[in-house]
Amino acid sequence: MQTAYENDTIAALATPPGQGGIAIVRVSGERARACFDALFRAAGNQTVESHRLLYGHVYDGSGQMIDECMAVLMLAPRSYTREDVLEFQAHGGEQVASQILSALYALGVRPAEPGEFTRRAFLNGRVDLSRAEAVMRLIAAQGEQSARAALRQLTGGVSAFVRDIQEQVIALTAGVAAALDYPEEIDEEEAAADIVPKARRLAEKLLSACDERAARLLESGFETALCGRPNVGKSSLLNALLGEDRAIVTDIPGTTRDVVRGSVILDGMRVNLSDTAGIRDQAETVEAIGVERARKAMQGADLVLLVLDGSQPLTAEDERLLADTETMPREVILNKADRSAAFDMPGALRLSARTGQGIGELRALLAQKARVRGDLPLTSARHMLLARRAAAQLNGAADALSGGAALDLAAVDLHEALQTLGEITGERVDEKLLDSVFSQFCVGK
């Protein structure tokens, strides 16, 4: 599982590069203490001990001062990686961090690879694989609900759920083994009759924990497409929802030629808004390309907001759009409510993008549509794929026993289900999977 260099001492910038209030350079490995002694000089008579933040100065190998900083040494195993860890907290800026890293490299430390600190935490048994993955999901979270889901995973929600299933599968496997070992005491048919419903219940529990829609929304956000014919106020509505002038607004039909995107956080969920080109039959070449992109955005959206000009009678283009979007997840918006209404439509939301009337109601509607269950134990695509595979293996065992197959054949499926569940937490893992998971991390984490 380990590569030849995973016992090396590594270092990386743990904060975003560029100017900022602070830059943290992180070191992990057996040479961390030697690096601390070689590069840092504590001011005054401060006692150097593990996990104590010290004030002083950091120097390069030639004795040239690099910066005034704080430093903390965290000795194994009480550290993020369960190795000796050193952190320099210096003034933000690329030059200072670069000089500290250069001084470390001169001492034989090598640059860390993406996710290597967390990979070491996994390899050293501090976290299982699902919790390691949660670290990156928490860093990447763009809404409160997404952050909460990642935090549940980080604090062991996935691990606890999977291990509970594993324990029950082990119990079923033990029942099979007992029936095979003591046939004179345990009847195979009775054992099979006991195992079949339990295996099916576990499979159902795994399947009910999988919600691809919720997982996608937590990771990428709720996709909303604003559509309608030209000059009904789609761009004004986008700007009103975003609270900024993102899209150009004019009285000239066809101003929006491409999809203009923006995002807003509503009730802790990221909602992605796409303002599309006005859809009409008579469009010149460039506008026609925008119309085609608008239709694609509508087809891929979680929700289509069909915007109509409520101050004018419905046109033939409006009628066609109403018909075209009838089978899509859709809400009809009657814009320009600050003017006299030309018609009414049951179930439609009347608002004014210009004055802000009804915008709060639309925000609440979008938040409600984007809401996902807060108790889902599995919100990762990788975890759900494995859970579905394990469920199929459990059902395979139940089907085999229901069909009169021998217990030892069902035992194979039960064992495979146990192995599959182990891939979620990392109990059964290979180097290729680790490379795939940790390559998605940023350097320094």
DSSP 360-399: HHHHHHHHHHH---S--SB--HHHHHHHHHHHHHHHHHHH
Domains of the chain: 10-128 (3.30.1360.120), 134-205+378-426 (1.20.120.430), 218-370 (3.40.50.300)
Q: Cα separation of 100 and 65, whole Å?
A: 10
Q: Retrieve residue 180's tokens.
A: 């095979």
Q: Which of 169, 165, 164, 161 is nearest to 397 (CA)?
A: 169
d(CA 43, CA 56): 5
Q: Which two tokens stand for residue 198?
A: 């339990």
The pLDDT value recorded for residue 66 is 96
Bond from prior residue into 313 cis (ω within 30 degrees of 0): no
Q: How wide is the angle at C-alpha 223 spanned by C-alphas 364 and 277, nearest 5°?
A: 105
Q: CA-to-CA distance for 432 and 423, rounded, in angstroms? A: 12
Q: What is the largest CA-CA distance in the chain?
A: 88
- The tens digit of pLDDT for each residue in 391-443 reads 999 999 999 888 888 888 888 999 999 999 999 988 876 677 677 777 777 77
- The dihedral sign for the CA sequence 398, 400, 404, 409: negative
Q: Residues near 175 by Cβ (< 8 Å), separated by ≥ 6?
A: 191, 194, 195
The mean of the pLDDT values for the chain is 86
Of the candidate ranges 22-31, 330-339, 434-443, the one whose mean pLDDT is the lowest:
434-443
Residue 423, both tokens: 């891939």
Q: pLDDT tens-digit profile of 1-25?
A: 344 445 799 999 999 888 888 999 9
Give the confidence band of 258 by pLDDT, cuts at 50, 70, 90: low
How confident is the model at residue 436, as a pLDDT? 73
* Closest by CA position to 443, among listed 7, 26, 82: 26
Amino acid 417: pLDDT:
95
Q: Which residue has the tokens 């993008």?
A: 353
pTM over 0.85: no
Pick from 69-78, 132-141, 271-280, 412-421: least confident? 271-280
Number of C-beta neighbours around residue 201 at 10 A: 13
